[in-house]
Amino acid sequence: MKRQRTLAWLKTRLGRTSLPQERPRQSLRTIATTWALVQVLMLGSPALAQREEEGMSYSEFLENVEQGKVEKVDLDPARNIARVTLENQDENTPPQEVRLFEENPELIELLRTHNVEIESNPTPDNSFAVGILGQLLLVLILVGGLMAIVRRSTQSGNNALNFGKSRARFHMEAKTGIAFEDVAGIEEAKEELQEVVTFLKQPERFTAIGAKIPRGVLLIGPPGTGKTLLAKAISGEAGVPFFSISGSEFVEMFVGVGASRVRDLFRKAKENAPCLVFIDEIDAVGRQRGTGIGGGNDEREQTLNQLLTEMDGFEGNSGVIAIAATNRPDVLDTALLRPGRFDRQVTVSLPTYNGRLGILQVHARNKKLAPEVSLERIARRTPGFSGADLANLLNEAAILTARRRKSAIEDWEIEDAIDRISIGLKLMPLLDSKKKRIIAYHEIGHALLMTLLKNSDPLNKVTIVPRSGGVGGFAQQIFDEDMVDSGMYSRSWLIDRMIITLGGRAAETVVFGDAEVTIGASNDLKVVATLAREMVTLYGMSDLGPVALESRNNEVFLGRDLMPSSEYSEEMATQVDRQVRSIAQRCYEEACRILQENRPLMDRLVDLLLDKEEIDGEEFRRIVAQETELPERQLVATPN
């Protein structure tokens, strides 16, 4: 009965159509939450049910009032309960709580009639304050979100306004930490650029005799030769304001942005004159105009036009020197290269022996080298290496030294680093098998021809230890320094080069026969075909006579020549093909002949290579010299 009366009271309270005026802001969510909480407390909490059963019911309360047993009633309108104190009740016993109905004015009359003391102590109702705080919190969240949106839109507006600004890095005082003494191996370029530093430091020395400061300097050279490093050195030496930017940072998908950035860059440069402006990879913005499949890039061309105008236009540009770097000078627009814009073109080529030695000395300052390590020998072992390659070489050697737990870099680490950079990472050796023997004969064929031929460069080492990239082994030469630097290769050297290249295929044929020839010589055949065709069509070293039938650079460039036209007739093309095949066939037959004549020596060298897996060039030549006469050139020791 008590539970049913309680549920009836809840239904009466929750089913009302109008809410009390003292709670106008109570929401449906509060009502639903209250109902769920009461359900849990009523049905899911046995302790609370037991507590309610121990209290006084409303009917019992009325009976006690009518019988005069109630001494005092403390009403709590907020909670709609009455705390009843009975007569002769112990002072330590708390009053009993009786839940009242929502509207019961007859109760007050009944209590007054029986002279019951009535007090009203309402529990503080914080629902109104909580509602106000909740609404204020909602308002604060809305205002904060609105402010964040406004701030973001303001930043976007600022970015839109700054979209055409130059993104060049500006250094009021050069802090590159690099001077000319830190740049080695390119002395000619340093001498040319030293004049630029003097122009900036002491312009009166040149203007006094009528000389004009150059507008721009273009650094041209292969990747890794030190073009960007030279620009940093110029900045460090001159000590003037320095702007640095990449050519790709001018070009955007929005029309006019690149030109706007060029104008802004040179405006800032003029305000800080005298100063330097360094544009790295200028070919990204300075390519030839009006070319390309489907037309040129209008945005890039507008950027280039603005750059041309800023360097040499109606307005003066005194005190601002532009330095640009590229490894593709052939793609640059001719208007960009004329005097008055880039007045000087400095070629930064691959370093010679003295240059490589100087570069190694610079990068070896912070490396701990063993006393037996010779930088001169390393410089002779690395023809064709750029400055970046040499720096990477010493760094790789230092890494290998640390991995092997050594205290200083030794010759073994240097050799392994050279092989790792030029050939690949060393892998696990092959097990004894037919494949290993075929690779050994292949590499010995190359190495033996390198040693026996008169016009060949000396052998450095031969190995059958596999490398990453599918290299099963290799025979390495030490190329002539003067020939590599000058590029003056003789016909006899080219012929011997092709014979050596075909030595691996020839060794497989001599030992295993035509049926067992492998595809290991596929790359060798491509090299021979290229050399033979160049001898016929470029160098005039064939029976066709001293004629150049092709140009060296005939590839498609920017859509200029979608279909390259042939420079000779079909009949001449047939003769060229015959000459190329004839040269390659003669070289192959010569390689087979030499190896067949030295078959016992080749077998002995193969057995030694299978046992040691690597043979040094000196040891190889000593073994060959015991059974045959080496050419006079090969009797000279390997340079060190």
Say if 209 falls within a structural domain: yes
Domain boundary among 317, 347, 377: 347
User: What pLDDT is recorded for position 19?
Assistant: 37
Centroid of chain to Cα 599: 52
Q: What is the pLDDT of residue 40?
A: 44
Residues 400, 438 within the same domain: no
Is residue 186 within 8 Å of residue 351, measured between CB atoms? yes
pLDDT reported for residue 166 = 52
Same structural domain, 247 and 303:
yes
Quick one: which of 451, 446, 498, 453 has its CA closest to 475? 446
Q: Is pLDDT at 501 greater than 50 in this prediction? A: yes
Strand partners of residue 467: 426, 471
Residue 437 and residue 464: Cα distance in Å, rounded? 9
Answer yes or no: do 586 and 478 share one domain: yes
DSSP H stretches of helix in 91-214: 105-113, 127-161, 187-201, 204-207
In a domain, 46, yes or no: yes
What radius of gyration do the chain's Cα atoms show?
47
Q: Which residues contact 207 (CB under 8 A, 6 or more apart)?
A: 213
* Known catalytic residue at 597: no
| Shared-domain flag, residues 290 and 366 | no
Do both 396 and 458 map to the same domain? Answer: no
The continuous run of DSSP H or E covering 622 comes out as helix 617-627
Q: What is the CATH number of the domain that holds 94?
A: 3.30.720.210
Q: How far apart are CA 63 and CA 447, in angstroms?
A: 123
- Shared domain check, 540 and 620: yes
> Which residues have CB under 8 Å from 528's CB, separation 6+?
498, 501, 502, 584, 587
- Number of domains observed in the structure of the chain: 4
Q: Does residue 224 lie within any of the structural domains? A: yes
On whether both 236 and 327 belong to a single domain, the answer is yes
586 in a domain, yes or no?
yes
Q: What is the CATH number of the domain that holds 205?
A: 3.40.50.300
Beta bridge partners of 463: 474, 614
Shared domain for 418 and 444, answered yes or no, is no
- Band the pLDDT of 442: cuts 50, 70, 90: very high
CB 461 within 8 A of CB 426: no
Is the full-model pTM beyond 0.85?
Answer: no
Is residue 189 domain-resident? yes
Which range (15-19, 474-478, 606-610) has the least confidence?
15-19
- Do both 334 and 441 map to the same domain? no
Instruction: Tell me whether residue 181 is in a domain.
Output: yes
Query: Where does a domain end: 422, 453, 470?
Result: 422
Amino acid identity of 261? R
Query: For the domain that residue 408 is a member of, what is the CATH number?
Result: 1.10.8.60
For residue 633, what pLDDT band results from cuts at 50, 70 and 90? low
Q: Of 422, 445, 462, which one is at a domain's C-terminal end?
A: 422
For residue 160, the model assigns a pLDDT of: 46
In a domain, 16, yes or no: yes
- Looking at the fold, whether 192 and 338 belong to one and the same domain comes out as yes
Cβ(386)–Cβ(225) under 8 Å?
yes
In a domain, 382, yes or no: yes
375 within 8 A of 361, measured Cβ to Cβ: yes
Assign residue 451 the CATH number of its domain: 1.20.58.760
| Helix, strand, coil percent values for the chain (each to nearest 5) | 55, 10, 35
Q: Do both 370 and 331 map to the same domain?
A: no
The residue range of the domain holding 261 is 169-347
Tokens of 525: 């055949």
Catalytic residue among 281, 443, 508, 590: 443
pLDDT of residue 10: 44
222 pLDDT above the threshold of 70 = yes
Bridge partners (DSSP) of residue 461 are 476, 616
Same domain, 489 and 628: yes
